[in-house]
């Protein structure tokens, strides 16, 4: 299957998140459509070679999903994360009255960030692939072992086929991804949330690393008024506080879709109660 979507062009994080989510939802919907074709074949005449052919097309759709996730994750890591990291670095440099240069230090940090983001996308997609693979194996086993016995038990072949189809459809729904912890999340939702999270981390990493490069020890935090430092519910509210640069690196955001950002405070050399909140 050709890659129909145009190459990712770096830009606004919200727009890029919507694009990545749309790409992955599109290929997931194609996978679901191939599953439907398999079920239709079972319901119509499961004994025909067309059933096995539909199953092989479904297996190819799983490969297409894996390939598309890899392509999109790679483009996102190489293009968008680089763009946002450098934007964060330039923002910090401008605040300090200096410039941003992509040194070896920044390139190494960005490479590590990109590798982590790419791996995280693949880990998330593995759960979706696992679900699709379970359906493939169940349907394949049914085609080989159950279909020849459909008329057993005083049941018509048509009714037996319907029972088989109903069971496969009920046990292997592809409307959302079921994670090992029981959470049910549509592909679009996890793709968009993951993209936004990695985008924020990349921008803030650029800001913090450029500030650290200049010897800055403390950062001012910009965040939602009710957002806590380590989680949204944390009573230690983040916005308007000053944190050490190491603290900021530990908590570049506190929850998915967090809008946290940082500004360098080079004039602060020691943190006291009087400057904890500005």
Tens digits of residue pLDDT in 226-267: 899 999 999 999 999 999 999 999 999 999 889 999 999 999
Task: Give the per-residue pLDDT at 1.
Answer: 45
**Helices and strands, number each (H, E), in the chain:** 7, 5
| Secondary-structure percent of the chain, ordered helix, strand, coil, rounded to 5 | 65, 5, 30
For the chain, the structural domain boundaries read: 13-195, 216-275
- pLDDT for the residue 180: 67
What are 71-110's pLDDT values in tens digits?
A: 999 999 999 999 999 999 999 999 999 999 999 999 999 9
- Flag residues of the chain having pLDDT under 70: 1-3, 46-48, 145-158, 160, 179-180, 272-278
Nearest-5° Cα angle at 103, 99 to 108: 135
Residue 70 CA to residue 81 CA, distance in Å, equals 15
d(CA 77, CA 118): 6
121 within 8 A of 69, measured Cβ to Cβ: yes
How far is residue 168 from each of residues 31, 49, 70, 171, 267, measured CA to CA in Å?
Answer: 15, 19, 29, 5, 65
pLDDT at 274: 47
Tell me the β-bridge partners of 241: 277
Contact 223, 230 (CB under 8 A): no
Closest CA to 227 of 251, 202, 255, 198: 255
Phi, psi of 235, rounded to the nearest 5 degrees: -65, -20
């Amino acid at each position: 299957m050709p890659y129909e979507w145009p190459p990712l062009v770096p830009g606004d994080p919200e727009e890029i998140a919507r694009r990545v989510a749309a790409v992955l939802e599109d290929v997931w919907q194609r996978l679901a459509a191939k599953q439907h074709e398999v079920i239709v074949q079972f319901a119509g005449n499961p004994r025909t070679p067309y059933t096995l052919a539909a199953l092989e097309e479904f297996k190819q759709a799983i490969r297409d999903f894996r390939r598309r996730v890899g392509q999109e994750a790679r483009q996102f890591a190489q293009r968008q994360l680089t763009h946002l990291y450098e934007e964060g670095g330039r923002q910090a440099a401008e605040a300090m009255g200096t410039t941003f240069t992509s040194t070896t230090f920044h390139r190494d940090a960005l490479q590590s960030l990109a590798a982590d983001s790419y791996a995280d996308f693949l880990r998330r997609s593995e759960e979706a692939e696992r679900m699709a693979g379970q359906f493939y194996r169940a349907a394949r086993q049914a085609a080989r072992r159950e279909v020849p016995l459909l008329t057993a038990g005083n049941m018509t072949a048509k009714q037996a086929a319907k029972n088989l189809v109903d069971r496969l459809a009920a046990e292997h729904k592809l409307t959302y991804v079921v994670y090992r912890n029981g959470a049910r999340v549509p592909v679009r939702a996890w793709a968009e949330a993951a993209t936004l999270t990695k985008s924020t981390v990349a921008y803030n990493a650029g800001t913090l690393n450029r500030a650290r490069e200049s010897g800055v020890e403390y950062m001012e935090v910009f965040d939602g008024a009710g957002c806590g430092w380590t989680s949204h519910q944390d009573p230690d509210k983040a916005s308007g506080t000053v944190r050490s640069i190491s603290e900021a690196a530990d908590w570049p955001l506190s929850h998915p879709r967090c809008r946290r950002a940082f500004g360098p405070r080079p004039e602060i050399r020691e943190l006291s109660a009087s400057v904890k909140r500005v």
